Amino acid sequence: MENELQYLGEMIIKKKHDIAKVVHEDRMSGVPLTQTEKEDFKKIEPLILKLRAELIALFGQALIDHKDREKAVESVSSWAAENGEYFFNIGAPLNEALKDTSFYREYIWKAIKEEATKENMSAGTVFEVIAIIDPLLDIAVYHFSLTYVEAFQKSLENTRAAILELSVPVVPIQPGVGVLPLIGNIDAERANLLLEETLRQAEKLRLTHLIIDISGVLTVDTMVANELLKVISTLSLIGVEAIITGIRPEVAQTIVALGFNLKELTVKGNLHQALHEINILNTN
């Protein structure tokens, strides 16, 4: 049996490119692609074929090294992890990528069946091949999926971070003066970023005054009001005076109802009034 496993392993490695080509052609025959997608795919197709052949060769090597299962598991896991991220990066949907599994299984087994029949190999050898290759395919699917999902989650986190940063835009409008237009809801995560990013931008732009316009904030509750006060207090510690603009009547009523004292804040009706106030102060 050992010699037969060795023989089948060497056969798979020898035919890896042929098997990879058949797997690839059959797999892609049912995938509808636009002309642009076809042209883009042709650019990476040689690499896809190479990766397929590498995986097939790993199954062949697993038969040769059948006594060292850990080595085979490590090799297949490494291939799957590396290429799970690669397939995510090229934009291949996970469900489409996982469809490859049945094609690998079909054509590897077809090659083994033909060779085993031709060489009149024992049923024991065939069952041993099944016991070696099938679990490795499952392991490949697991690590491929895991890495793909991790790459997807990382991409989502990066996108969310970028969006959050854009949601705290400090815009310089004249030397030493910037405006921070806040739009939408302010949740806990955005509130934390608001303080951090505002301080960073204030220092970077060397601001003396920051106009915080809240006309686009949908709701102002206790958390939002507290965070704004925290930002204003912290800015004052680094020498930046904050001016609040855009307080709508309903928001003003809410703030008063919440018991916040606005006497310590500099509040103006709009950006023009705030700039006028700053320019008067600067000329005195």
Query: pLDDT for 129-174, tens place per residue?
Result: 889 999 999 999 999 999 999 988 888 877 666 665 555 688 888 8
CA 248 from centroid of its chain's CA atoms: 38
Strand order in the sheet with 266-268: 171-174, 177-184, 209-217, 241-245, 266-268
CA 218 – CA 238 distance, rounded (Å): 29
Q: Which helix (H) or strand (E) holds 13?
A: helix 2-14
Buried b (16+ CB within 10 A) or exposed e, 84-97: bebbbeeeeeeeeb
pLDDT at res. 1: 67
Cα within 13 Å of Cα(28), Cβ side: 16
Contact of 123 with 3, CB cutoff 8 Å: no
CA 57 – CA 16 distance, rounded (Å): 6
Domains and CATH numbers, the chain: 2-164 (1.10.490.10), 171-283 (3.30.750.24)
Task: Point out which residues pair with 177 in neighbouring strands.
Answer: 174, 209
Each residue of 207-263: pLDDT tens digit?
999 999 888 887 777 888 888 888 888 999 999 999 989 888 877 777 777 776 666
Phi, psi (deg, nearest 5) at residue 45: -60, -45
Each residue of 78-110: pLDDT tens digit?
999 999 988 888 888 888 888 888 899 999 999
pLDDT band per the 50, 70, 90 thresholds, residue 206: very high
Percent of the chain with pLDDT over 70: 93
